[in-house]
Amino acid sequence: MAVGFAQWGNDLYTGRRSYDIVGHRRAFYLASAILVLISGFLLVKPGLNPGIEFRGGSEFVVSGIEGERDQQLAIDTVLAVASQESPEVTNLGGDSLRIQVAELTDAELKEVASALQAAFDVSQDEITTQFVGPTWGADVSSKAISGIVVFLVFVSVVMTAYFRNWRMALAALIALIHDLVITVGLYAGVGWEVTPATVIGFLTILGYSIYDTVVVFDKVRENTADTLDQTRFTYAEKANLAVNQTLVRSINTSVVALLPVSAILFVGAFILGAGTLRDIALALFVGMLVGAYSSIFLATPLEVSLREREPRIKAHTAKVLASRVPGAEGEAVAAASTVRAVGQLRAGAHQGQAAQPKRRKRSR
């Protein structure tokens, strides 16, 4: 199996085997558009579920619970004190519960803490409370958005300067936005809380995605440097070869990166119930998967679509494709020769008529 995979990768690199990824780019555009539309719908309904760090509120953590952690008991206990609230309860670790509600007064905080202590039969030291004001939550939200915007702008500037080609920068930027929208949309569909760890995960997957895209674009630039100096391959075909040559590397990198993230996601979500591990692992898992897809099937096809709008590339592509038509060049040469021959014959006929002397009529 290893030998077969290695041979497959070698065939892709040498061009003996090739997948026409760039040639079928419209299908990948359609698939990406559908995923983005579904993600956009999920962002509207049900929408993101911001954590307490973003919306503000009060949080209680009950530790040292023996036996089964009854989430409904926690909800009923909070509602008995503050009936207007809608508590959100999640498991933490192996013996803890986290209860989050909207902003409570100091008296309500103490009353809820005492009620939880009695309901779960734990000591006072095992009940911790935390209050997050709405101002701090709004500040975290604005900084998160600013961080993503600054990252995208910085990526555009650096890639334009590195590749000296704004089309590659634009294609990479579109691929990044594509990855971010799909990751955030799926996160909204799952319904997990958006925490600062989630935002860190979003920024991390953007960095991973741009890294993979830069590697592919570097090979594209290397392969297409002499495109206009030859008439055997089009720009799209040379770019497609670059994608095939980096395909094995992209698959290996993605699998190696996804394995530990999958372990963190599984352990954090199903074994430990740790919110921080679960939040960042889901964002990383989805983002890496989508980022690997976009770097192979979206970024380079987009760059090719933009480059083929250039007059030089368009003319070169037409020239290469025309030369592949059977007999096209021969017929063109023959037609040109025929036109020249007919012209020469006509010119010779006119010259002969002009050189012949005029005959005089003889009188009988």
pLDDT band at 347 (very low <50, low <70, confident <90, very high): very low
Which backbone phi and psi does 225 adopt, to 5 degrees?
A: -65, -35
Domains of the chain by start residue, with CATH: 8-50+136-317 (1.20.1640.10), 57-132 (3.30.70.600)
In whole numbers, what is the pLDDT of the chain averaged over residues?
Answer: 81
- Per this entry, what is the length of the chain? 364
Residue with token string 């779960």: 120
pLDDT tens per residue, range 202-223? 888 888 888 889 989 999 999 9
List, in order, residues 6 or more apart from 286 with CB less than 8 Å away.
182, 183, 186, 187, 205
CA distance 284 to 281: 5
Strands 193-194 and 127-132, by their bridges, are unpaired
pLDDT tens per residue, range 272-306? 655 667 778 888 888 899 999 999 999 999 999 99
CA distance 23 to 35: 21
CA distance 12 to 322: 27
CA distance 96 to 69: 8
| Whether pTM exceeds 0.85 | no
